[in-house]
A and B are shown apart, each in its own frame.
Chain A
Amino acid sequence: MTFLKIAWFEYYRRIRSKWFIIGTFGMPVLILGISLLGGYLTGTGASIETKYMGLIDETGIYGQDLVAALDQRYDEEDVSPLNIMLTKGSFEALQVQFDALVKEHSLDGYFVIPADFNANPHLKFYAQSTGTMRSTDIVGAELRQLLTHDRAEALNLPLTALEELFVDIDIEHYELGASEARDTEELIAGYVAPFVFMFLLFLGIFTGGQLLLRAVLEERSSRVIEVLLSTVTYNDLMGGKIVGLGMLGLTQSAIYLLAGVIAGYYYDINIVTPAIGLLYFVYFVLGYLLYAGVYIGVGALFDSEQEAQQAIQIITFIAVIPMLLWTLVIENPNSTLVNALCYFPPVTPFFMMIKISVGETSVLQVLITIMIMIGSVYASIRLAAKVFRTAILLYGKRITLPEIVRWIKA
């Protein structure tokens, strides 16, 4: 079993490398860190520049209340991104002065509360740039509340009536036949898990592919390939590489899935069921083999990594489709577009994994997609073998498309 020796060599020398360890454990930490940090920054407004806003209050009433409301809001949330300079007076009289302040960057912009605000509620905002949507939204929301209070008073409604009028509705999610509602963790997990499965699949398949590409380029550029091919057959060499580096991707996925099982046990949510785990590995293997053929073929065609990476970009582009469309699949798992894409081999594993983890697929669809994938894998590996066999020993020669077609036909 020569190919197993090669597979072990490829697997063992990489699994011990610090890059594998850093990549496997560092990547989730990094992704989690970036998403948490991003959430923190946008959620709290921390580290966002304080905006200096002017406010021309033609009503002489709302300005003061607005500033007080905003101050209270930011006191409670412990941040203060809006600094309001309030001036009572008419827009006509003050416009030139305020425009000048904006132009010399003393102000980021200014609001005008028109005199007829109560009867005709609208707010004007003057600024040089449009990047102040968040600030205008906040001001608008506060002003709306002030106006609601005013109008309630005008209608002689007690303030408690407002609380009665503006209510939030709690939506409880139940599993079919269940008596207890799903808790928040479960709901979030239900939304996030499909993405995580797809992302892990993506990570494993393309990490494996990239490693294959580099392994082929390394042997080609160092001419080890000649020594190897005088010792083993082409099929053993190619098969050994594919299996060895695929096992590496599987090891990585197994670590993540195990972490998922442990986390699920801890939070009492069943994310990684045996069926999902099994299908994950089936789609991983099929997806990996499909792309392995492509990466090996491309690796055999080029002398330098730079050229090979350029050629592989088109593949990466196809693979980005699931990354762009994953929310679509979660929200509309049975739409015609999603179903059609499920039968498009380059993205089949990713879309099917999402559909499986949201529970919106059928045994028939799973079987059909697996059959399609097996057929595509067979074609991909066969073509790759033909290209690999012919191109791997052609150094320093620019290979043309007609040549590749001829090898494949041969």
Chain B
Amino acid sequence: MIELQNISKQYNSIKAVNKLNIQIQAGQICGFLGPNGAGKTTSLRMLMNIIHPDEGTILFDGKEERPGAQHFGYLPEERGLYQKISVQETLNYFAHLRNVKDYHSKIDHILERFELRDRLHSKVSELSKGNQQKLQFINTILHDPDFVVLDEPFSGLDPVNQLLLKEILEDMKKAGKTIIFSSHQMGQVEKICDDVALINQGKLILSGSLSQIKREYGKTHLQVIPEHESDLDHEILKKNDAVIRAGAAYILLSEKDRSQLISRINSAFEIRTIKVAEPGLEDIFIQMVQADKP
């Protein structure tokens, strides 16, 4: 478990992180979200001991004493690899730096799993973007770290490899690792994370389990797709403040008049689809960030 307690960091006159409190449970994947410039990178760097907070403490499994670097795995967004050396040299070097024992067999095994073994002697610059991303991920977890920070790990991966990466994350979760997953792809976050923490302007504005947050903050919409697109202008939709997006109308639902509204729309024009849409993390994200604007 990682606990950030009242962490602050200031650059010149800008407070990049302002008294941030977050708890990340072991054996769970926590989605770390926020708009650009919210202070995510600064927070992750403080977590990784790359920079030091001006104030506040970070606890690891309840202790203030920081475990050795070999207990941490960090995948920064994009790149993060030497381009002119081979896959083997890259992994050997970092394994050596992190005091990994018997790393040759580990490297062999993990490259096999990621179908990269035949590229062992290839230069990193010769790998495709997807393969570079795989290599970077391998480099992050090769030493079996307890605390893992992943910044956009799915970037550049095809669906097959995304699935593989997800499987590995599930395995790590089961093994009790503490995983922080930072991404702008809300779909991925929803699929993978148990908890989310949303920060804006250096402050935490929302945190908790994904399902609970969706229940509390998510607004349920009625999605209506008419048979004839011209019906998107229908009086009944306008009266209910429908938002028109990509050939569908969305109406914010309140609990009491739900069935009445559905039957009224049903009789008003010919319907192709009508359904109650679950709240999306993206909507919650946008709504919360906009509400937080000064």
Binding site for B on A (CB under 8 A): 2, 5-6, 9, 13, 218-219, 222-224, 226-232, 393
The CB with the most chain A CB atoms within 10 A, among B45, B78, B80, B98, is that of: B80
Secondary structure call for the A interface:
helix
- Given A222-B83, A227-B140, A393-B45, 12 more A-B residue pairs with CB atoms under 8 Å apart are A2-B97, A5-B96, A6-B97, A13-B85, A218-B83, A223-B80, A224-B79, A226-B45, A226-B50, A227-B75, A227-B80, A231-B98
- Other-chain residue from A9, A223, A224, A231 in contact with B69 (beta carbon distance below 8 A): A231
Q: Is B93 an interface residue (CB 8 A)?
A: yes
The 6 closest A-B pairs by CB, nearest first: A230-B48, A230-B74, A226-B76, A229-B50, A223-B79, A231-B69
Known: A2-B97, A13-B89, A393-B45. A230 touches B50 (CB 8 A): yes
Tell me if B114 is interfacial: C-beta within 8 Å of chain A.
no
Query: Are B76 and A227 within 8 A (Cβ)?
Result: yes
- Provide the residues of chain A in CB contact with B89, threshold 8 Å: 13
**A–B complex contacts, Cβ < 8 Å, 8 sampled:** A6-B97, A13-B85, A223-B78, A226-B50, A227-B140, A229-B50, A230-B50, A232-B69
| Residues of A with C-beta under 8 A to B78 | 223
Q: Which residues of chain A come closer than 8 Å to B82, judged between CB atoms?
A: 218-219, 222, 224
What A residues does B81 contact at CB under 8 A? 222, 224
Interface string of B84-103 (1 = CB under 8 A from A): 11000100011011100000
| Chain A residues within an 8 Å CB radius of B49 | 229-230
Cα A6 to Cα B85 in complex, Å, equals 15
Contacts of A218 in B (CB 8 A): 82-84
Complex partner residue of A227 from B83, B84, B94, CB under 8 angstroms: B94
The minimal Cβ–Cβ distance linking B47 to chain A, given in whole angstroms, is 9
- Taken together as a complex, chains A and B put the C-alpha atoms of A237 and B75 apart, in Å, by 18
Residues of A with C-beta under 8 A to B93 = 9
Bound-complex Cα distance A218 to B69 (A)? 23
A226 touches B51 (CB 8 A): no
A2→B140 CA distance, assembly (Å): 18
Give the A-binding residues of B (Cβ under 8 A): 45, 48-51, 69-70, 72, 74-76, 78-85, 89, 93-94, 96-98, 139-140
> Shortest CB–CB separation between residue B129 and chain A, in angstroms?
14
Determine the distance from Cα of A227 to Cα of B58 in the docked complex, in whole angstroms: 20
Smallest beta-carbon distance A311→chain B, Å: 22
Give A9's nearest chain B residue, CB to CB: B93
A226–B98 touching, CB < 8 Å: no
Residues of B within 8 A of A393 (CB): 45, 50-51
CB distance from A365 to the nearest CB of B (A): 43
Residues of chain B within 8 A (CB-CB) of A230 are 48-50, 69, 72, 74
Q: Which single residue of chain B is at the shortest CB-CB distance from A6?
A: B97
Inter-chain CA distance A229–B89, complex, in Å, is 18
Q: Are A231 and B97 in contact (CB under 8 A)?
A: yes
CA distance A13 to B49 in the complex (A): 28
Residue of A5, A219, A229 near B48 (CB, 8 A) is A229
Are B79 and A231 within 8 A (Cβ)? no
Minimum CB–CB distance for B254 against chain A, Å: 47
**Complex interface: chain A residues within 8 A of B80 (CB):** 222-224, 226-227
Shortest Cβ distance from A219 into B: residue: B82
Nearest CB in chain A: distance from B204 CB, A: 23
Whether A227 and B139, one on each chain, are in contact in the complex, defined by CB atoms closer than 8 angstroms, is yes
Cα distance A92–B70 in the bound complex, in angstroms:
96
Point out the residues of chain A lying under 8 angstroms from B79, CB to CB. 222-224
CB closest residue in chain B, given A221: B79
Query: A231 contacts B94, CB within 8 Å?
Result: yes
Alpha-carbon gap, A13 to B92, bound state (A): 12
Say how far A92's CB is from chain B's closest CB, in angstroms. 75
The 8 Å CB contact of B74, one of A5, A226, A232, is: A226
Chain B residues, Cβ within 8 Å of A232: 69, 97
Q: Which residues of chain A are near B50, meaning CB under 8 Å?
A: 226, 229-230, 393
Closest to B82 in A: A224
Q: Whose C-beta in chain B lies nearest to the C-beta of A229?
A: B50
Task: List the A residue with the shortest CB-CB distance to B77.
Answer: A223
**Contact call B45/A223, Cβ cutoff below 8 A:** no
A228: nearest residue on chain B (CB-CB)? B97
Contacts of A231 in B (CB 8 A): 69-70, 72, 94, 97-98
Give the docked Cα–Cα distance between A2 and B74 (Å). 18
Determine how close the nearest CB of chain A comes to the CB of B148; give it in whole angstroms: 11
Smallest CB separation, B79 vs chain A (Å): 5
What are the residues of chain B within 8 A of A227 when measuring CB–CB? Answer: 74-76, 80, 94, 139-140
B237 to chain A, nearest CB (A): 46
A203, B106: Cα distance in complex, Å: 42
Most chain B Cβ neighbours within 10 Å, of A5, A6, A218, A230:
A230
Whose C-beta in chain A lies nearest to the C-beta of B85?
A13
Q: Shortest distance in angstroms between B122's beta carbon and chain A's nearest beta carbon?
A: 16
CB distance from B142 to the nearest CB of A (A): 12
How far in angstroms is the closest Cβ of chain B from A236? 9
Name the distance in Å between B40's Cβ and chain A's nearest Cβ.
Answer: 13
Contacts of B84 in A (CB 8 A): 218
